[in-house]
Amino acid sequence: MILGGRALRKTFASELRALAPIDFAVERGEFVALVGPSGCGKSTLLRILAGLDQPDEASSLENRANPGRASFVFQEAALLPWRSALGNVELAIELDAKAASSEARRFRARDALARVGLADFAARFPHELSGGMKMRVSLARALVTDPELLFLDEPFGALDEFTRLDLDEDLRSLWRERGGTVFFVTHSIEEAVLLADRVWVFSSRPGRLVLDHRLAGLPAERKRELRRDPRYRQEVETIEAALARHREPRA
């Protein structure tokens, strides 16, 4: 187990409970996608797991990734506008506790950019990059520190369909190449099924874990063509049904 929690609960001042008490465990090397309606507390859970927020209550909450070996990709690319793509990726190494020479930094950053397909865009600044490219830089910045655990919070939600599918495919194959644990929050059922091996379904507010579903029947390699496969459609329907049962009536 790399992430685990018992009886974890979080309430906000607005008195709308964000998270009902939930129990969960993520094993090392898993790709978990968390889906649920907006406002159900998915991002809250992610922020708690990453250490950005505190739960009100939890009989246990564990993150066994080594310190500094967890990375995060946000809904927005969150790049420094005054740094090039390369400089933004180097930032992750600069902020590491271990000192690295500037050549070593540059080498690793170039390598990370190449892995997300941006080898030729290292010198470009964020304002010169498309939304999808910015997200790739953000992904490279997350990968360059070789994380054991990668948190992604609806990272491709703002992108157009084609770009999003490109990034989904690339994220999946990057994970297959390098391993590690991925925790991916999305409101798209289709994206969750295309990416993950295990899908968690959250109910509407207060968020409860209503389905913990392993996608055992799907191939390990996932390309967009899979969306026409009956097995894929079957999984999407299973999750849709679970979500529909636990949604607020006509929110």
Residues in contact with another protein by CB under 8 A are 50-52, 67-68, 70-72, 74-76, 78-82, 91-92, 94-97, 125-127
Q: Closest approach of Cβ 74 to another protein, in Å? A: 5
Token pair listed for 108: 């690793």
Closer residue to another protein in complex, CB, 89/194: 89
Q: Closest approach of Cβ 27 to another protein, in Å? A: 23
Closer residue to another protein in complex, CB, 43/204: 43
Closer residue to another protein in complex, CB, 134/213: 134
Q: Closest approach of Cβ 66 to another protein, in Å? A: 12
Closer residue to another protein in complex, CB, 81/249: 81
Q: Closest approach of Cβ 124 to another protein, in Å? A: 11
- Can you spell out the DSSP letters for the chain? --EEEEEEEEE-TTS-EEEEEEEEEE-TT-EEEEE--TTSSHHHHHHHHHTSS--SB-SEEEE-SPTT-EEEE-SS----TTS-HHHHHHHHHHTSSS---HHHHHHHHHHHHHHTT-GGGTT--GGGS-HHHHHHHHHHHHHTT--SEEEEESTTTTS-HHHHHHHHHHHHHHHHHH--EEEEEES-HHHHHHH-SEEEEEPSSSB-EEEEEE-TTS-SS--GGGGGSHHHHHHHHHHHHHHHHTSPTT-
Q: Closest approach of Cβ 55 to another protein, in Å? A: 17
Closer residue to another protein in complex, CB, 138/204: 138
Q: Closest approach of Cβ 99 to another protein, in Å? A: 12
Closer residue to another protein in complex, CB, 37/126: 126
